[in-house]
């Protein structure tokens, strides 16, 4: 942001107005001294109320989060969830406070500090790297569409979150939350617990109260996994509900950004701010009639009453007895709140889907990443997937702690998406995940949604392009978070929000990590 742009708001103020605002700022500081605002676990609505009454300013909120980042991310437990702080964050928050003083009629995200996953473009001076040392100098000229939407809503971009490098599509053995540029993200509930991938930094940062909420991306489990692992609410939208333009891609048929927050309401407020028709993403154009303008109307305490839900217990086989017990307790709550649980149901295509190897993600990744990298400035060290592989080999000491087998496998395949093998694999993915998968069981059993533990149904929903919402379901005796996930048909976000909110309000399982 230019200096001229940064201070444009100040030039428009008259001397009297500026003096009045200055006096108001001093008054707000006195109010804060009398009644401190507690940032830990504060909701977006509570922040707005505090800013409206003058108890706190947006600049105060930014500074509080910066202090927590210094205390808990860079020192203390060293969560390592933040890759970069927006150097303009305090200036932007100060401008936000002035605008609020002039016009207090603002939206729910106005002045609220958010964290953005670092595969989502943010304009210079911030970087967008996907966690790769090969992209360390990448400074986009403009924001991704979802970021520009959030800025229009008045949100403050606090910084960029660490992630699993290239959205966990580089090496078979790379741990969740690791990137060559940012290192390893830790789970704030315990360093020994999986932090989830690939939106690990967003998950850890929001869980540890280092930002009000955050934006992640998912191709297959990358929002649902870190949300459940960090006791958060994560919304993985229908593909096309939120724009993918300006996001370093993995596979366009499955990619989507989505909100991660500490409450369902906060996640919905963020989702509202992210959506919109983007001419650079045709899926949002085709989907505009299916996307709601305001999803908060679906925040209903009685959202479980009369709902028909199904659970396929084959997806629980990898869980411990204690984790299964927590899921069973969640089902009991849903029944108490008026839901009918069909237990079990069977998604008949699951075994076939899991045991076959589709080339879709590998081929789409090569196609999509080449198209993205080709547009980078001439001084970028990489302009293709082959360039990335070469760069990593030349800088193996920093870039290849876990190898790059996935990148090399993708490079070895054709990026021609008109080829027979790709078309056949994509058709099978759709058939097995939709017609013979989620669609079949939901329609045959007249269900509103399927229930999964944590993120364990993410693959079938991802291939279908269908939405899911995960909500905290409790903790093991060791303190490891467990989530429950609701999955439905395309653009069933309204029903999923009703279910998730009703369950959250009936249980209130989330508790902050002890840092």
Q: Where do the H-state alpha helices sit in 337-473?
A: 350-355, 360-374, 385-394, 396-399, 405-412, 420-430, 439-444, 458-464
Instruction: Give me the catalytic one of 59, 81, 96, 117.
Output: 117
322 by Cβ neighbours in 10 Å (0-12 / 13-18 / 19+) ranks as middle
Q: Are 339 and 309 in contact (CB under 8 A)?
A: yes
Query: How does DSSP classify residue 311?
Result: E
Two structure tokens written together for 231 = 């006791």
Q: Are 90 and 69 in contact (CB under 8 A)?
A: no
φ, ψ at 99 (rounded to 5°): -60, -40
Q: Are 165 and 174 in contact (CB under 8 A)?
A: yes
Is 358 a catalytic site residue? no
Nearest to 410 by CA among 203, 172, 182, 198: 172
φ, ψ at 114 (rounded to 5°): -120, 155
Is 393 a catalytic site residue? no
φ, ψ at 48 (rounded to 5°): -65, -40
**CA–CA gap between residue 430 and residue 424 (Å, rounded):** 10
* Residues across the chain: 515
**CA–CA gap between residue 167 and residue 207 (Å, rounded):** 20
90 by Cβ neighbours in 10 Å (0-12 / 13-18 / 19+) ranks as middle
Terminal-to-terminal C-alpha distance of the chain: 34
Instruction: Give me the catalytic one of 198, 225, 253, 287.
Output: 198
Instruction: Give me the catalytic one of 81, 96, 220, 222.
Output: 222
Is 366 a catalytic site residue? no
CA 380 to chain centre: 27
H or E segment to which residue 20 belongs: helix 15-34
Tell me the three state secondary structure of residue 310: strand
Query: How does DSSP classify residue 247?
Result: B
Q: Are 330 and 503 in contact (CB under 8 A)?
A: yes
Composition of the chain by helix, strand, coil, percent to 5? 45, 10, 45
**CA–CA gap between residue 257 and residue 244 (Å, rounded):** 7
Q: Are 331 and 298 in contact (CB under 8 A)?
A: no
Neighbour tally for 302: CB within 10 Å:
13
Paired sense of beta strands 183-184 and 113-117, if any: unpaired
| Residues assigned a catalytic role | 117, 198, 222
């Amino acid at each position: 942001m230019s200096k001229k742009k940064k201070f444009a708001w100040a030039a428009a103020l008259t001397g009297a107005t500026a003096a009045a605002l200055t006096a108001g700022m001093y008054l707000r500081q006195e109010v804060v001294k009398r009644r401190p605002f507690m940032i830990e676990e504060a909701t977006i609505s509570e922040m707005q109320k505090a800013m409206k009454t003058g108890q706190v300013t947006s600049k105060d909120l930014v500074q509080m989060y910066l202090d927590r980042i210094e205390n808990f991310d860079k020192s203390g437990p060293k969560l390592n969830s933040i890759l970069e702080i927006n150097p303009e964050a305090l200036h932007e928050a100060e401008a936000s406070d002035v605008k609020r003083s002039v016009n207090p009629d603002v939206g729910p995200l106005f002045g609220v500090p958010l964290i953005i996953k670092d595969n989502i473009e943010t304009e210079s001076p911030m970087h967008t790297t996907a966690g790769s040392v090969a992209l360390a100098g990448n400074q986009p000229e403009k924001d991704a569409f979802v970021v520009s939407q959030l800025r229009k809503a008045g949100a403050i971009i606090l910084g960029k979150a660490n992630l699993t490098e290239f959205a966990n599509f580089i090496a078979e053995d790379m741990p969740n939350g690791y990137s060559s540029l940012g290192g390893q993200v830790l789970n704030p509930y315990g360093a020994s617990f999986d932090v989830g991938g690939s939106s690990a930094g967003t998950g850890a940062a929001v869980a540890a109260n280092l930002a009000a909420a955050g934006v992640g991306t998912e191709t297959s489990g990358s929002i649902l996994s870190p949300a459940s692992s960090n006791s958060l609410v994560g919304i993985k939208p229908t593909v096309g509900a939120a724009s993918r333009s300006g996001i370093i891609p993995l596979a366009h048929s499955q990619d989507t950004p989505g909100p991660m927050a500490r409450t369902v309401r906060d996640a919905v407020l963020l989702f509202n701010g992210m959506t919109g028709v983007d001419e650079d993403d045709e899926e949002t154009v085709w989907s505009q009639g299916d996307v709601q303008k305001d999803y908060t109307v679906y925040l209903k305490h009685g959202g479980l009453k009369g709902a028909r839900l199904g659970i396929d217990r084959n997806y629980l086989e990898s869980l411990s007895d204690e984790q299964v017990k927590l899921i069973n307790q969640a089902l009991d709550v849903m029944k108490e709140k008026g839901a009918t649980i069909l237990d079990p149901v069977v998604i008949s295509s699951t075994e076939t889907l899991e045991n076959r190897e589709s080339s879709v993600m590998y081929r789409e990744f090569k196609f999509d990443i080449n198209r993205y990298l080709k547009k980078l400035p001439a001084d970028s060290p990489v302009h293709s997937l082959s360039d990335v592989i070469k760069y990593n080999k030349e800088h193996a000491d920093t870039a290849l702690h876990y190898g790059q087998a996935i990148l090399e496998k993708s490079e070895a395949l054709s990026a021609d998406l008109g080829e027979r093998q790709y078309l056949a694999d994509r058709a099978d993915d759709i058939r097995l995940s939709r017609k013979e998968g989620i669609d079949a069981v939901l329609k045959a059993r007249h269900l509103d949604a399927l229930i999964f533990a944590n993120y364990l149904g993410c693959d079938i929903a991802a291939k279908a392009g269908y939405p899911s919402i995960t909500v905290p379901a409790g903790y093991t005796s060791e303190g490891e978070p467990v989530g429950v996930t609701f999955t439905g048909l395309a653009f069933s976000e309204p029903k999923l929000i009703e279910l998730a909110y009703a369950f959250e309000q009936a249980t209130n399982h989330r508790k902050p990590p002890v840092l």
